[in-house]
């Protein structure tokens, strides 16, 4: 009886090892193929926004969409140059209008959305911003083929700490920026997209001039690099 039990146990172990070897062989065959597929496909990014996205006062290659793509390429991912729909001064409704007029593809692998600072700057209310931002977010999701996990919303930086805000009510600017960000964060959570809070980092510009361009308002390449790092981290997780 004891010999039968030992014999049966040995057979089970041998069978398990055999299955394990087969699984490892199949995995070894599959992994290179997946890697080749990832390397072969040219991934796309659509970036929607305003001056913070287009990169006012910095060379094009230094704005955050281009820095993100460059970092991804260096990590071995095959990405096309980003498609950017953004312009200095744009509000949510102006961005919406520009998207309507732009000749865009039906689908992109990733979409970033950063908009709202000019709504605040022009004295517009959050109650107006909310439905307009929601519509933009829905369109961003649609551009990814309805994959909400491929959409990245960035919070609005706080320009109230910059030299440009000298003589203005800095405390009120920061308060209003927070209100707008509370709105876009809640919408990001509602639609289950990624949310990157770059606002705390933007406030460091109040004591670190290297984070701003020479106009004393817009982010420098150094600050855009900080944003790009966080975007790359999100995209890498998607792979």
- Has residue 28 got a pLDDT over 70? no
DSSP state of 203: G
What residue segments make up the domains of the chain, in order of their start? 1-40, 42-238
Q: What is the pLDDT of residue 144?
A: 98
DSSP one-letter string for 60-92: GGGSHHHHHHHHHHHTT--BPPPEEEE-TT--H
The CA distances from residue 8 to 13, 19, 227, in Å, are: 9, 17, 60
pTM here? 0.84
- Has residue 29 got a pLDDT over 50? no
pLDDT band at 39 (very low <50, low <70, confident <90, very high): low
The residue-averaged pLDDT of 183-203 equals 98
Q: Could you read off the pLDDT of 41-69 as tens digits, one per residue?
A: 899 999 999 999 999 999 999 999 999 99
The residue-averaged pLDDT of 111-137 equals 98
- Has residue 150 got a pLDDT over 70? yes
- Has residue 16 got a pLDDT over 90? no
**CA 86/CA 95 separation, integer angstroms:** 7
Structure tokens that stand for 148 in this block: 């909400």
- Has residue 14 got a pLDDT over 50? no
The residue-averaged pLDDT of 5-31 equals 43
The residue-averaged pLDDT of 112-136 equals 98
Q: What is the pLDDT of residue 18?
A: 46
User: What class is the 42-238 domain?
Assistant: alpha beta
The CA distances from residue 111 to 18, 50, 118, 154, 231, in Å, are: 45, 14, 21, 11, 11
Q: Could you read off the pLDDT of 69-112 as tens digits, one per residue?
A: 999 999 999 999 999 999 999 999 999 999 999 999 999 999 99
pLDDT band at 21 (very low <50, low <70, confident <90, very high): very low
- Has residue 235 got a pLDDT over 90? yes
- Has residue 141 got a pLDDT over 50? yes
Q: What is the pLDDT of residue 178?
A: 98
């Amino acid at each position: 009886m004891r010999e039968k039990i030992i014999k049966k146990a040995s057979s089970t172990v041998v069978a398990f090892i055999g299955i394990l070897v087969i699984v490892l062989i199949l995995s070894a065959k599959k992994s290179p193929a997946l890697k080749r597929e990832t390397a072969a496909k040219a991934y796309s990014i659509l970036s929607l926004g305003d001056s913070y996205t287009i990169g006012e006062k910095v060379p094009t290659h230094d704005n955050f969409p281009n820095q993100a793509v460059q970092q991804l390429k260096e990590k071995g991912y095959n990405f096309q140059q980003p498609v950017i729909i953004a312009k200095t001064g744009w509000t949510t409704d102006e961005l919406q209008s520009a998207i309507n007029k732009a000749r865009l593809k039906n689908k992109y692998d990733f979409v970033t959305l950063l908009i709202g600072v000019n709504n605040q700057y022009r004295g517009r209310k959050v109650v107006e911003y909310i439905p307009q931002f929601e519509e933009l977010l829905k369109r961003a999701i649609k551009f990814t083929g309805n994959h909400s996990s491929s959409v990245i919303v960035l919070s609005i930086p706080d320009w109230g700490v910059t030299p440009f805000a000298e003589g203005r009510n800095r405390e009120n600017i920061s308060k209003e920026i927070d209100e707008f960000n509370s709105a876009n964060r809640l919408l990001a959570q509602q639609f289950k997209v990624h949310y990157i809070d770059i606002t705390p980092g933007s406030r460091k510009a109040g004591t670190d001039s290297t984070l701003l361009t020479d106009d004393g308002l817009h982010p420098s390449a150094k600050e855009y690099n900080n944003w790009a790092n966080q975007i790359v981290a999100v995209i890498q997780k998607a792979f």
